Amino acid sequence: MTKVILVALLVFSINAFASPETEMQKAINQVGEPCAKVTQVFHSGNDTDGSIFVSVACSGGQNYYVHVKKSGEARVVKCAVIDKISGGRGKPGSCFSKVN
């Protein structure tokens, strides 16, 4: 069974010292998923209500899909789960594709 956990965070904060990579790593680790170091952040797209979709690759080979609402609430899901939900139509790494 896959867990999808909501976390409250300010992803791309105004804080000049926090990089998107650092914020994504914090969000992923906060929900109990492993990510020692973020190696790639891919902005997959936006929706009409201001939410953003980001794919994140970590140094240990883990990949995550992060949906961040305008409020700062985020959902972190493993990319393997996204591929499985899509019925296996996507090849591994397909969550690193543009939304729309």
| Residue ranges of domains in the chain | 5-96
Q: 52 is written with which tokens?
A: 């953003």
CATH code of domain 5-96: 3.30.505
Q: What is the pLDDT of residue 93?
A: 56
Backbone angles phi, psi at 14, to 5 degrees: -75, -15
Q: What mean pLDDT value characterizes the chain?
A: 77
Instruction: For residues 73 and 88, give the distance between their C-alpha atoms in angstroms, rounded to a whole number.
Output: 28
Facing residues of 38 across strands?
A: 58
pLDDT band at 69 (very low <50, low <70, confident <90, very high): confident
Of 71, 72, 74, 91, nearest to 83 (Cα)? 91
67, 53 Cβ separation under 8 angstroms? yes
Find the distance separating the first CA and the last CA of the chain, reported in whole Å. 28
Q: Is the pLDDT of residue 75 over 50?
A: yes
Read off the pLDDT of each residue in 12-23 and give the average, rounded to a whole number: 64
Task: Give pTM, 2 decimals.
Answer: 0.74
